[in-house]
Amino acid sequence: MNQKVALITGASTGLGFETSILLAKNGYKVYATMRNLEKQEDLINKAQELNLDIYTKHLDVTNVDNINRVVNDIVETEGRIDILVNNAGAGFVKTTELATDEEIMWQVNLNLMGVIRMTKAVLPTMRSQRDGRIINISSVGGLVGQPFNEIYCATKFGVEGYTESMASYVQPKFNIKFTVIEPGGIQSEFTNNVMSQLQSTGGLKDDEYKPILDKYLGGLKENYGTGSSQTSEEVAEVILKTLEMNEPPIRKRTSEWSETFTQLKTKADPDGKEQQQRVVKLLGK
């Protein structure tokens, strides 16, 4: 069988980086993309050290022309794209009242529209192949709204709905299988970047919301409990296992903690397959 070709967004650090390494170790040909190619050195060095089949490309998921150019280049070179991992995204901590319209649209543009744009770009190739896997990285925040994360959670709820909808007709008709991955916390630069972003935009004003945020952040580790965060490598392993399933789930939590945290939302249909089948029946055969 031909070597499978995987396209991964947001691959310069964290989960995207580790997923690129792990898939390449397991025989996939990986196109690891990132907005800032100045950050590619660590990934290139690791790939060379381990003799892995990884190629880096500049890709900004907010730029349609850039997306189409990269996808077309890969298809021209490889003749196919088998896997898309929509990992690029960012967190955002700020109250709705304080967030500017520009900041809100930045979140939507990156976290939700980026997923939709990338999916749209690879669908013609996957549809012609009658084969493909699309993994969308969400969060427990895509199932459970959390304090001061409402804008971020809104984008991830959007990713959840988009994935479910695509799985209801594209998956059964064209054999393009969709899964949304729902980690809890990931031990990477993600949280640091969120807090840096908050500080760089003036922090939270000293108003009625400030003591609520201080209390929330102060008790975060204690309230969320042991096991609330995983390493990027651990989440990457879940992605690999999902890709290697013949019939992957529509949604997949990545730890016992994330299962417990979301169980009130998920216990009736943990993997989303039952709901998918009910919707598929509406289409008829």
What is the distance in angstroms between the CA of the first residue and the CA of the last residue of the chain? 31
Name every residue whose Cβ is closer than 8 Å to that of residue 239 and which is 6 or more positions away in sequence.
Answer: 19, 22, 85, 135, 181
- 1 CB contacts (<8 Å, ≥6 apart)? none
Of 138, 188, 229, 255, the catalytic one is: 138
Is there a catalytic annotation at residue 165?
no
Rounded CA-CA distance 200/172 in Å is 45
Helix (H, G, I), strand (E, B) or coil at 246: coil
Q: Is 188 a catalytic residue?
A: no
Write down the catalytic residue from 4, 29, 94, 156.
156
What are the φ and ψ backbone dihedral angles of 96, each rounded to 5 degrees? -60, -40
152 carries an active-site annotation: yes
138 is catalytic: yes
**Nearby residues of 236 by Cβ (< 8 Å), 6 or more positions away:** 15, 18, 19, 21, 22
- Under 8 Å between Cβ of 243 and 268: no
* Helices and strands (H, E) in the chain, number of each type: 13, 9
Which residue is catalytic, options 28, 31, 152, 209? Answer: 152
* Residue numbers annotated as active site: 12, 138, 152, 156
